[in-house]
Amino acid sequence: MGEIIGIIIFGAVIGALARLFMKGEQNIGMIWTIILGALGALVGSWLSGLIGVEDTPGIDWIRWVISIVVAIVFIGIYLGVRGRGRTRA
């Protein structure tokens, strides 16, 4: 149960930071921000492991930056896919 709460909190932080660094307005709800932030964090951790970033004492800044960039990509993809299904009046 604690792991799920940790994923939700980490996903919310990564997703919020990703939205903060994105240009323009993102019409996206908090649930999607958490989901895409958590996915960005998971994929970002995986990618940082592939490039050889090891666990360090303290904050893993490289892992955080990679996770935020991946979350930005996921949010951009989500907004692009969601925007195509809507018609403009």
Q: What are the extents of the domains in the chain?
A: 29-84
Per-residue pLDDT at 78 exceeds 60: yes
Closest CA to 37 of 3, 4, 9: 9
> How confident is the model over 22-40, as pLDDT tens digits?
888 888 889 999 999 999 9
Helix axes 2-21, 61-84, angle to 10 degrees: 70
Structure confidence at residue 54 as a pLDDT band (50, 70, 90): confident
Structure confidence at residue 85 as a pLDDT band (50, 70, 90): low
Per-residue pLDDT at 62 exceeds 60: yes
Per-residue pLDDT at 88 exceeds 70: no
CA distance 72 to 19: 7
What residue spans of 1-89 are helical by DSSP H? Answer: 2-21, 30-50, 61-84
* pTM across the whole model: 0.83
Contact 15, 36 (CB under 8 A): yes
Q: What is the DSSP secondary structure assignment for residue 88, as one 8-state letter?
A: P
